[in-house]
Amino acid sequence: MRKFNIKKIFTLPSDQKRLTFSSFITLVRIAMVPVIVMAMIAHRWGIAFIIFVLAAITDLLDGFVARYFSQQTFLGACLDPIADKILLVSCFFSLAFINSPLFSIPLWFVLIILCKEILQIIGAIIIFVYRGQLVVKPTLLGKLNTVVQILFIIWLFACYFFRWVPVKTYYTMLGLLLLLTCLSFGQYSIIGYRQWRA
């Protein structure tokens, strides 16, 4: 759990703003995004699969490095969720518009995920400005939602590469993701409301 005070943002000690090795790993994950998107556009699903898996591994690695080597900083705390959102939203958005002979991501699903992320960011900014601080604590449901999104994209890449068309599994996972996304948004909304009223 972290408390960020608006008056302290510009007076953070240098060790909280330094680029650590764990933060560098996070930046590498962001740099992988355009490569993944270009591979998807070119229908190089094997390459997209490999690079996306590597990006997912960096998501685990940067957190482990930060904790193990005591490299947890304000910069790293900000970069990590941003990198996750850029990676996932970019992949879902690309999958919605790529002309594939197999199933693709519905545009309405991408818009729901995009709206969720935008509303959460706006809500966090409002609470941060109004209350002067923001308590950031990822929930188990939020983490589960992110993990399932990552696994879903990996599974889709594998389906495209091997020309699998498991329609029932596809709609089941899509429905599960929609449910987790809505539940996660509802949970974070309640947490945000409580911070607002505190």
80-103 pLDDT, tens digit per residue, is 888 888 999 999 999 888 876 677
Q: What is the pLDDT of residue 8?
A: 47
pLDDT of the residue at 151: 94
- pLDDT by residue for the chain (198 residues), tens only, comes to 444 444 444 444 554 455 677 888 889 999 999 999 999 999 898 999 999 999 999 888 877 776 766 767 767 777 888 888 899 999 999 988 887 667 778 889 999 999 998 898 888 788 877 776 666 677 899 889 999 999 999 999 888 888 888 888 999 999 999 999 999 999 989 988 888 887
pLDDT at position 91: 93
Give percent of the chain above pLDDT 90.
37
151-to-11, 126, 171, 177 alpha-carbon distances in Å? 39, 32, 14, 11
Residue 117 has a pLDDT of 87
What pLDDT is recorded for position 145?
Answer: 92
* pLDDT for res 88: 93
What integer pLDDT is reported at residue 4 of this predicted model? 45
Q: CATH: 1.10.10, 1.20.120, 1.20.58, 1.10.3470. Which one for 2-197? A: 1.20.120
**Whole-angstrom distance, CA of residue 28 vs CA of residue 25:** 5
User: For 151, how many CA atoms within 13 A lie in the half-sphere containing its CB?
Assistant: 12
Q: Say how far apart CA 17 and CA 7 lie, in whole Å.
A: 15
SS3 call for 152: helix
pTM, entire model? 0.83
pLDDT of 1 reads: 45
